[in-house]
Amino acid sequence: MAITTCVFDAYGTLFDVGAAAREAAAEPGREALLECAQELAEHWRLKQLQYSWLRAITGEYTEFWNVTKDGLDWALEKTGLDGDPELRERLLALYWELSAYKEVHFMLARLKAAGMNTAILSNGSPDMLAGAVDSSGVGANLDAVLSVQDVGIFKPARSVYDMVGDRFGCTPDEVLFVSSNGWDAAGAAGYGFRTVWVNRAGDPIDRLPAQPHTILSDLTTIPDLIT
pLDDT tens-place string over residues 31-90: 999 999 999 999 999 999 999 999 999 999 999 999 999 999 999 999 999 999 999 999
Q: How far is CA 37 from the centre of its chain?
A: 20
One domain, residues 118 and 208: yes
In angstroms, rounded to a whole number, what is the distance separating the alpha carbons of residues 194 and 24?
37
117 lies in the same domain as 84: no
Q: Which residues contact 175 (CB under 8 A, 6 or more apart)?
A: 3, 4, 5, 6, 7, 164, 165, 193, 194
Please state the domain count of the chain. 2
The reported pLDDT for the residue numbered 227 is: 65
On whether both 193 and 102 belong to a single domain, the answer is yes
The reply to whether 112 and 196 lie within a common domain is yes
Alpha carbons 218 and 14: distance in angstroms, whole number: 10
pLDDT in the model for residue 1: 78
Tell me which of 9, 73, 143, 184 is the catalytic residue: 9
| Percent of all residues in the chain with a pLDDT value above 90, rounded to a whole number | 99
Question: Which residue among 95, 130, 156 closes a domain?
Answer: 95
Q: Is pLDDT above 90 for 92?
A: yes
The domain that contains 148 carries what CATH number? Answer: 3.40.50.1000
**Mean local confidence (pLDDT), 184-206:** 97
Same domain, 80 and 128: no
Q: Is the pLDDT of residue 20 over 90?
A: yes
Same domain as 125, residue 207: yes
Output helix, strand, coil percentages for the chain, rounded to the nearest 5. 50, 15, 35
In terms of domains, do 120 and 43 share one? Answer: no
Residue 45 shares a structural domain with residue 70: yes
| 130 and 160 assigned to the same domain | yes
Do residues 68 and 114 share a domain?
A: no
What per-residue string of b and e applies to 202-214 under the rule 16 or more CB within 10 Å gives b? eeeebeeebbbbe
> Cis omega before residue 156 (within 30°)?
yes
Domain termination residue (choose one: 47, 62, 95): 95
CATH of the domain at 49: 1.10.150.240
Q: By the 8 A CB rule, do 42 and 78 touch?
A: no
82 catalytic residue (yes or no) = no
Final residue belonging to a domain, choices 64, 95, 126 = 95
Question: For 93-105, how does the pLDDT look when each residue is reduced to its tens digit (9 = 90+)?
Answer: 999 999 999 999 9
125, 27: one domain: no
Domain that holds residue 64: 19-95
pTM: 0.96
